[in-house]
Amino acid sequence: MDPFAEPYTRVGDNVSLEEVRSQVLALEADHRAAGIPLSGRVLHVCHYLPVTATLSTATGVISPPATPPTKASDVLPEDAKDVSSGSNTSAWTLGVRYGHAALISGIRSLAATHEQLIIGWTGDIQSTVPGERVPVDNVSSDDRASLEEALKTYQPKESDPDDDRKTVYVPVWLADKVAHDHYDGYCKQTLWPLFHYLLWQDIATEDVSQDAHYKAYAAANAAFAARIAEVYQPGDLIWVHDYHLLLVPKLVRELIPDAVLGLFVHTPFPSSEIFRALPRRKEILDGMVGADLICFQTYSYSRHFISTCIRVCGYENSPRGIDVDGHITAISHCPVGVDAERVGRDLLRPGIQPKLDALRTLYEGKKIIVGRDKLDVVKGVLQKLLAFQKFLQTYPEWVGNVVFIQVTSPALTDSPKLERQVSELVANINGEFGSLDFIPVHHYHQTLKKDEFYALLKDGMNTTSMEFVIAQAGTQKSPVVLSEFMGISKHMEQSLMVNPWNLGDVAAAMHEGLLMSEPEKLMRHEMLYKVVTTHTSHTWAALLVKMLLGQLDKKETARRTPYIPKDVLESKYHDAKKRLFFFDYDGTLAPIVKEPHMAVPSAPTLEALQKLSADPRNVVYIISGRDGAFLEQHLGHLPQVGFSAEHGGFMREPGDGKPWVNFTDSLDMSWMNEVEEIFRYYTERTTGSVTEMKKTSITWHYRGADPEWGLFQCRQCQDLLENNLAHKRPIEVLVGKKNLEVRPIAVNKGEIVKRLLYLNPDAEFIFCAGDDKTDEDMFRALIPPALWLAIKPDSVFTTAVGQSSKRTLASWHVTTPQEIVEHMLGLVGETETEKSNL
């Protein structure tokens, strides 16, 4: 994909809902035919349930404000009252929680094809005493069970076709302090500003550590993961929604390794230079890449995420996605639309026309510009007002002929400073351009009822863009002025796109929109209307299922390597009279580090090697890409350990004073000068890269370079070597972890393993561990057809270090180098115990 192109939807996704659903059905049929289990359920994990719960048997005590408020919607329906679940006779009264209408509408629409589970926090428990809350600690286990029963029969009052009993609501219970520190603390004070390019010192009203609420964030995410594990069934698809739950994917992966899980991030994702300021950046990224698929609103956000993974955490990027120790996380984008059908129905409400007529009468003869935003620092209300002021200054002919109606609904967290700034700016504009019979700016800080909202939609010029386009279908086809920074900007390219920080640009767009000809209005509207009504919230939800089913196919075709069974390993070890141990070094006995010379063995590693090699029944070899000097410096004091250096180019048998044997003496090594010259060329042009000269190979390291530039240069260098040199010389080019190595084609670790097998034909137990591509040669040499010894296959333990999904020839896996050492210490520990008992 062109890195500079920003498609709104992926190729093939810009289709009708019926087509997407048919594609989903075809995918499911293929999976079932292939024996892949599917439960027909989709688990949607959201911050809170779209349901309010009132406990009528509790007296209630005053508690912090609801989080988020029960009327968090920007648009409040006329009938926003508690709605009983009908047949519910328990202590609970259930009502609709407004907000995130597109998300909930999309999820419920899937009830036509799948069983839906919405897993979310209960929200603050309401009391029958007005204005009071019930502390969650006061809710008994019986009452909690009663709420779950009530939710099983709950249906929203609105009888839409997509509201079906196939949607089940699963509550997550959080302690009040954890819930509020999670949301009001870490989510709103740390993550929300950061994801909108605001560093905390720019908006903070007091000095608060950005780590202050992380424990609550982690605790809340752990509670969600545990709840998912309780209700999960094999074959379920799991979608985790938004920035409140970024740790959940990894936590669920630990609890349910085979789960198929996606993460949808509804907020923007900032560039790596902004994200790296987050103190818990690694924990957040590690949590996110536990998913099989991460989906963003736009292509640019997905690019930012990939760049952040590479630059901040050093993860590898491949065509399949982000590679973290062998676990691949695919990255995609799929914007959320609106529920076009519901908006269309709402526009027919009988109360709208009278309010529309009243607006036209009130502002007769004047053009109306409407802005509707939450009063949040990231929503640009100040910039919009400043732009309107600039508009009146630049185009004075509009003074007295245009009114600007700005509606600001309460944000989820109060901002007194912003409220004061907005009020002062409105007063300044009205004082400068107003008169006794004309007020240019009307500011309403309140939640609108639906009829009022849609009346403005029908008569205004700029408002909630997608609903506005649908509302204008039957009226004046008025244009939309839209910030190019909004996530939907690529969706609304026929809008008047502006940089909100360029006040003159916004003012000019207002002027252009007010003077736009009727044919141009019609042309722009028709194109916008087609997009808005095609890619709806229902289509978005169906596409999520389709994408996750695609990941299920990839998971099933990739062989998952099982974790090494400690009891079996120990049993086979103790039964054997002679054992062979082959260890890689970097990434196997020592973790990968940025500076190669800092990869020194730990005390437990040295202890394990010393105890293993001290047993005369054990033959222990370190088979590494390191040179002999490094191995002797750090491991040479272990006399009974043998070494192979430079990927099999050299070998030294166990024992004091044993010489190094060079297996490349008879090989043509004249190619080294040519490769050195090529590597020197790329080293000079890649700051931070170095060339490592060995006796039998040459390695170019770019771990210290800019990760994206280093990877690009590595691919260029690899292409040059393979196409211009490798076919002429007896060499092979190996791509390693942040390095590129050239070595003789006849020299590799597998040849050393074969040699050691030949020298030890009586071995009854083999343990071989490695972590990268060069170690696959060892594993290949130990596959039963190649293993010509009379050893039982179940006594050969080839072990890859990394995730179970890592592509490898090994039979077993462990996750980290520390686990290799722990398993080895377990072997020698039991051996010593046996000896003491004899």
Q: Please give the distance of CA 691 from its chain centroid, rounded to a whole number.
A: 35
Cβ-contact 28, 39 below 8 angstroms: no
Distance of CA 496 to the CA centre of its chain: 32
Sign, CA dihedral 436-438-440-446, equals: positive
Categorise residue 117: left if φ over 0, alpha if ψ from -120 to 50, beta otherwise: beta
Q: Where are the beta strands (DSSP E) in 669-789?
A: 690-693, 698-701, 731-736, 739-744, 765-770
Between CA 36 and CA 640 the distance in angstroms is 49
Nearest to 167 by CA among 85, 229, 243: 85
Contact at 8 Å (CB) between 743 and 697? yes
619 forms beta bridges with: 580
Tokens matching residue 243: 């920035």
Going by C-beta distance under 8 Å and a sequence separation of 6 or more, which residues neighbour residue 408?
Answer: 372, 373, 374, 375, 381, 422, 443, 444, 445
Peptide bond into 68 cis (omega under 30): yes
Q: Return d(Cα 361, Cα 54) in angstroms, integer.
A: 42
* Measured CA distances, 594 to 469, 586, 597, 706, 742 (Å): 52, 12, 9, 12, 21
Characterise 661 by phi-psi region: left (phi > 0), alpha (psi -120 to 50), beta (else): beta
Contact assessment for residue 327 and residue 803, using Cβ atoms and an 8 Å cutoff: yes
* E strands in 167-278: 167-172, 237-241, 260-265
List of E strands, 220-348: 237-241, 260-265, 293-296, 316-318, 321-324, 327-333
Nearest-angstrom CA–CA distance, 229 and 70: 28
| Cα 246 from Cα 361, distance rounded (Å) | 50
Tokens at 617, concatenated? 């029944």
- Which secondary structure element, helix H or strand E, spans residue 756, and what is its range? helix 749-759
Residue type, 604: P
Confirm if 824 and 797 have CB atoms less than 8 A apart: no
Amino acid at 276: R
From 584, 771, 772, 775, the catalytic residue: 584
513, 496 contact by CB (below 8 A): yes
CA distances from 216 to 242, 412, 544 (A): 17, 19, 29
Q: How far apart are alpha carbons 44 and 186 in whole angstroms?
A: 22
Please indicate whether residue 236 is annotated as part of the active site: no
Residue closest to 325 by CA, chosen among 340, 334, 314, 335: 314
Under 8 Å between Cβ of 763 and 578: yes
Burial of 391 (0-12, 13-18, 19+ CB in 10 A): buried
Q: Taking the alpha carbons of 99, 102, 105, 107 in that order, is the dihedral positive or negative?
A: negative
| In the block, residue with structure tokens 């009528």 | 56
Residue numbers annotated as active site: 584
